[in-house]
Structure 1
Amino acid sequence: MTVDYLIVGSGLSSLVFGALMANAGKNVKILESHEHPGGFGHTFTMAKKYTFNAQLHYVWDCGEGYTVNRVLQKLGLEQEITFERYDHQGFDHMRMPGYALDIPSDTSTLIQRLSDLFPKHQQSIQLFIEAVHEVRAGLKILSSPVQPLNLLRHFWQGIIAAQYVNSTLQDVFDRFRLPEAAQTLLALQWPDFLLPPKQLSFYAWVILFTSYQEGAFYPTQHFETVINALVKVIETNGGQVLLNQEVVNFLVNDKTVNGVQTIDRITHVTQDFTANTIICNMDPQKAAKMIGIEKFSKSVQKQLSYDYSPSNFMAYCVVKDLDLRDYGFGKWNMFHTEVTNLNEAFKRMYVNHDFSQPSFAITTPTLLTDDHRDCPENCQVIEFLTVANYEYFRELLEHDRKLYTQKKEEILNQILDVVEKYYIPNLRDHLVFQIAGSPTTNERFCHCPQGNSYGSSLTPKNMGPGRLTHRSSLQNFYFCNASSGYPGFAPTFWTGALLYQRLSGDVI
């Protein structure tokens, strides 16, 4: 049967799109090659009792009236899916030798805390933070539907934002002459991008930093509830989410995409699926190669030439009979670096594969909500995240699996050494479970090319006006994922919602 919308991949943006279309009465079918829906948002269980989310840690735009809330209201899920807010006095705790800064929601408080740490640079700090919020306001104007009166009213903010289109975060730090230690504290959530200041788009940093200031959140019942609720909306309205269906070919007639061919990863049976409209949630580059890159317009071919984002190392751990709140953890994330120059720290880990002085993030999901379904009583989850080089780990895995496993253990132990030195002296005594994932794990379980964590890399080149959009130039075929929108929980929500609005004419 030919359906209205055939969606290839069940990442968050496609689940949002599918749920909205199904809710509007359209016939929706989603094909997912994994055994779980949700992409990087899926939840998995280990040892039959410990539950972890694949990659999502904290999110923004979940407050009343914001992006995620508006979509949930449209779907009637705003009462079922609720969120807990991180500590507004310090949602990110930045730590480095000799310095500590808790990032607050209030901008004036942030300026004061930085000024107290760097009194000789108070003016440059003030000017930098003011510029950040001016650019954020300008980006909101530039990314909104064109309204001449609104553009005229905020013309200056738009001009200020446009000046930074090719700027890295490091460029702007240098422009305002911030001291290196202040730069490091402000940019220490770099694992959220997996790029150092000299490579990271200033736009990308501004959007994330200011959005988390407006509110950092975690789902009350964990991310699995979000994924399951979206799937339920689709299925309740007559749609289907078919798992273990790997797309091996696109059915194309000239420049019109009519459907796909899949192979069932369990039964190995092949099947053709057709639809009036095909939504591509899989990596656009990968899809384009399967279809034939020459079938796309020259402009879309250029947009498809993006670089992939770096990948990551992730360790999922469980401690027993230890309350992490007694050691400085709570409703916030912790970011730590041993090397104070983040550009150098990134190079050591990503280029030289040297984690002896790591820079990394620490998240503690069990402290963010009273719903403790993720582990047994007297246990708490603690997770560690940093960057890792895909090619390096791929070669280790292909040539010597023992060395591959040893490298993962080495990285985790070097991180644990730092954690025991500065935060939890006896952490290893309480570890009852640990498992580490590498870039090849990302590729294997989430089917992301080169293990990329965010689709296209968040550099100025990939964040500018030439960025890929939903438009593919082919008939009946649209992109809908992090590389054709933006990565992260709220941005992928909005990517799916925007495509829904464009194709349906409805307004959220």
Structure 2
Amino acid sequence: MVKKRYQPYKPSLDFSGLDHIVVGSGMGGITVATWLAKSGKKVAIFERHYVPGGFTHSFKRKDGFQWDVGVHYVGNMAKDSSLRGFFDFLTDGKLDWESMGEVYDVANIEGTEYVFKAGKENFKKQMTAYFPEEEKAIEAYLKLIEKTNRRASAFYFEKIFEPWLSKALGWILRKRYSKFSQRTTWDVLNEITQNQRLISVLCAQCGNYGLSPKNSSFGAHAMVIGHFLEGGYYPVGGADQICEKTLEVFTTHGGKVYINADVTEIVTENNRVKGIKLGEKFIPCKSVLSNIGVNNTFNHLLSEADRKICDFSLKNVQPASAHICLYLGLNQSSEALNLPKHNLWYYKHDGIDKIFEEATLENAPENFAYISFPSAKDPNWENKNPGTATIQAISVGNMEWFETFKDTKWMKRGDEYLVLKKNFETQMLKVLYKFFPQIEGTIVASEVSTPLSTENFTNYKSGEIYGLAHSPERFTLPFLRPKTKIKGLFLTGQDITLVGVAGAMLSGLLCATAILKFGSWKNFKEVRNKKNQFFSGKNQGTNNRL
């Protein structure tokens, strides 16, 4: 990490004069913090982990291996895309992106391979080649994705409306979107086609939003699928470069980042935020922006009275699914091992819902695996770590499988826990060797993370990585907005919008706009100007070589 981008929290430090405090340093938090800092506000980020970044950070080991914890690829990052423009604004154009190429995902269902190619027309041609009798259904599916996402744009924009405007006009936008968000992915696709294998292929990437077809909102499915239709991209240098390059800009504009800073309370008085507490230490500010999820915010940092004011209830919405991940380090390069840039989605059969519902610790890897190759995606990996490679293999996880170890501490959970992790590793390696037999004998480092690992670093009590489940019910919650009913308390992060780096970044933009109102247009103008400079060839940053 670049020197002095963050510092350990100490009660003796000077925290006076803060305009805004951001709790949590995930993508939503660093987006809104940087947006505000570039608008001249005095902002500080407080992060409970010992490194910032949330799910954009990476962890390293002494042997030189490094693995991402949440970002495996990002869509819509072509140099002419709006999303790319926002990332260039946040990082001053210092973050490069590497295309994953023509093929970004491959699904293997019951031994049959299905390739996902970048570009809407390429996608349509490829799927039609697999299912020639379903050409009309595939065309209808793509049109529905596009229509749903147009409605979604208005739905998310409405989240920054003032109450009077939301009451007068917002209900129309919410109702128009509800025709898609309030139906499951399975229900919608089942109307388009009766071909169950085609439905399974179209849902093969459902792990990107964490719910099976019969449980997920089609609105979430459409946004995620649409996000990747033009292909996948990976941050050059690794996923942690998203955080590093953004925090470099944030701190350049006077922002402060404190780690090991576990906020224990958001202090309010007469329905107005006064500041935060870390233990007994009170730190005043004008507003608090929470990026730690609505469950953690309302149930752990606010009083019951504050929850009632905000009309907060998760009665009908569950947390997103958890996962178990095997991290591998290999003693040969990605090129030497012929490892792909694309991701592999493996399903033992096409009953995706059944696989998710009947998953156990013993059968999870055998039935489902998502396999990613970070070192193959990153053009800088071989320069920094010559002759090595990394793999990540993920399957379904459930916190209940590890209930016995709930009260144990990280790295000190005992031999029985280590045996469970080793068994998972053994089963997942069988899947890996089946598809990539060339890696056998090259593994020199391995680790397994469980839902308990996720809980330890994120404080998500169910070990979930996607916040609230992307079910139809999620899209009916009235409090999933940047501005709360408590003056000075704002929300950001994936719960407010949608899963993923792009979704979390969007939440940060909405939150900043809700705070700055018309003052935010200066930043939007800079985004537009940077984009214009790029195409005129005046951009002197590293993006010129893309």
- TM-score over 0.5 for the alignment? yes
Aligned partners of 2:496 and 2:38: how far apart in 1? 24
Aligned residue in 1 for 2:168: none
Q: What is the CA distance between 1:494 and its match in structure 2?
A: 1.5
Kindly indicate whether residue 295 of structure 2 is the aligned counterpart of residue 282 of structure 1. no
State how 1:91-240 maps to structure 2 within 5 Å: 91-144=104-157, 162-240=178-256
Deviations, residues 232-283 of structure 1 (Å, cap 9, x unaligned): 22222222111111112222213222111114xxxxxx42211011111123
Aligned residue in 2 for 1:152: none
Asked if the contact 1:168/1:198 (under 8 Å) is kept, the reply is yes
Residues 375 and 307 (structure 1 numbering): CA distance in 2 closer, same or farther, change over 3 Å? farther
- 3-state secondary structure, aligned to 2:344: strand
State how 1:29-428 maps to structure 2 within 5 Å: 29-75=44-90, 77-78=92-93, 80-87=94-101, 89-144=102-157, 162-263=178-279, 270-289=280-299, 290-297=301-308, 300-302=311-313, 306-321=317-332, 323=334, 327=338, 329-349=339-359, 354-355=363-364, 357-372=366-381, 376-396=385-405, 398=407, 401-421=414-434, 423-428=435-440
- 3-state secondary structure, aligned to 1:449: coil
Residues 491 and 374 (structure 1 numbering): CA distance in 2 closer, same or farther, change over 3 Å? farther
Aligned partners of 2:365 and 2:105: how far apart in 1? 24
Aligned residue in 2 for 1:435: 447
Asked if the contact 1:300/1:472 (under 8 Å) is kept, the reply is no
Asked if the contact 1:41/1:53 (under 8 Å) is kept, the reply is yes
Q: What is the CA distance between 1:324 and its match in structure 2?
A: 5.9
- 3-state secondary structure, aligned to 2:263: strand
Asked if the contact 2:262/2:278 (under 8 Å) is kept, the reply is yes
- 3-state secondary structure, aligned to 1:450: coil
Deviations, residues 19-59 of structure 1 (Å, cap 9, x unaligned): 12112211111111111001111121113411112211111
Asked if the contact 2:72/2:239 (under 8 Å) is kept, the reply is no
Letter paired with 1:493: M
Aligned residue in 1 for 2:459: 447
- 3-state secondary structure, aligned to 1:252: strand
Aligned partners of 1:375 and 1:346: how far apart in 2? 38
Asked if the contact 2:181/2:220 (under 8 Å) is kept, the reply is no
Aligned residue in 1 for 2:19: 4
Q: What is the CA distance between 1:331 and its match in structure 2?
A: 2.6
Aligned residue in 1 for 2:505: 493
Q: 2:472 aligns with which of 450, 460, 469?
A: 460
Letter paired with 1:214: E
Q: What is the CA distance between 1:373 and its match in structure 2?
A: 6.9
Asked if the contact 2:493/2:507 (under 8 Å) is kept, the reply is yes
Asked if the contact 2:123/2:229 (under 8 Å) is kept, the reply is no
Asked if the contact 1:132/1:206 (under 8 Å) is kept, the reply is yes
TM-score, normalised on structure 1? 0.89
Letter paired with 1:425: P
Structure 1 residue runs without a partner (length 5+): 147-156, 264-269
Residues 386 and 380 (structure 1 numbering): CA distance in 2 closer, same or farther, change over 3 Å? same
Residues 287 and 236 (structure 1 numbering): CA distance in 2 closer, same or farther, change over 3 Å? same
Asked if the contact 2:25/2:47 (under 8 Å) is kept, the reply is yes
Letter paired with 2:390: V
Asked if the contact 2:92/2:249 (under 8 Å) is kept, the reply is no
Letter paired with 2:71: L
Q: What is the CA distance between 1:160 and its match in structure 2?
A: 7.8
Q: 2:42 aligns with which of 18, 23, 27?
A: 27
RMSD: 2.6
- 3-state secondary structure, aligned to 1:242: strand
Deviations, residues 376-420 of structure 1 (Å, cap 9, x unaligned): 321111111122001222334558843322222222222221221
Residues 236 and 131 (structure 1 numbering): CA distance in 2 closer, same or farther, change over 3 Å? closer
Aligned partners of 1:478 and 1:346: how far apart in 2? 34
Asked if the contact 1:339/1:357 (under 8 Å) is kept, the reply is no
Residues 44 and 97 (structure 1 numbering): CA distance in 2 closer, same or farther, change over 3 Å? same
Asked if the contact 1:2/1:273 (under 8 Å) is kept, the reply is no
Residues 109 and 73 (structure 1 numbering): CA distance in 2 closer, same or farther, change over 3 Å? closer
Asked if the contact 2:365/2:431 (under 8 Å) is kept, the reply is no
Q: What is the CA distance between 1:144 and its match in structure 2?
A: 4.3
Q: What is the CA distance between 1:439 and its match in structure 2?
A: 0.4
Aligned partners of 1:207 and 1:254: how far apart in 2? 39
Kindly indicate whether residue 494 of structure 2 is the aligned counterpart of residue 482 of structure 1. yes
Asked if the contact 1:470/1:484 (under 8 Å) is kept, the reply is yes
Aligned partners of 1:38 and 1:195: how far apart in 2? 24
Residues 183 and 193 (structure 1 numbering): CA distance in 2 closer, same or farther, change over 3 Å? same
Asked if the contact 2:108/2:347 (under 8 Å) is kept, the reply is yes
Residues 375 and 340 (structure 1 numbering): CA distance in 2 closer, same or farther, change over 3 Å? farther
Q: What is the CA distance between 1:86 and its match in structure 2?
A: 1.8
Asked if the contact 2:333/2:382 (under 8 Å) is kept, the reply is no
Q: What is the CA distance between 1:142 and its match in structure 2?
A: 4.3
Residues 203 and 285 (structure 1 numbering): CA distance in 2 closer, same or farther, change over 3 Å? same
Q: What is the CA distance between 1:69 and its match in structure 2?
A: 2.5
Q: What is the CA distance between 1:82 and its match in structure 2?
A: 1.3
Structure 2 residue runs without a partner (length 5+): 1-15, 162-172, 525-546
- 3-state secondary structure, aligned to 2:440: helix
Asked if the contact 2:103/2:231 (under 8 Å) is kept, the reply is no
Aligned partners of 1:260 and 1:4: how far apart in 2? 13
Asked if the contact 1:5/1:279 (under 8 Å) is kept, the reply is yes
Greater shift, 275-284 or 290-299, is seen at 290-299
Asked if the contact 1:92/1:103 (under 8 Å) is kept, the reply is yes
Aligned partners of 2:460 and 2:383: how far apart in 1? 26
Aligned partners of 1:284 and 1:323: how far apart in 2? 40
Asked if the contact 1:14/1:281 (under 8 Å) is kept, the reply is yes
Aligned partners of 2:35 and 2:330: how far apart in 1? 40
- 3-state secondary structure, aligned to 2:346: strand
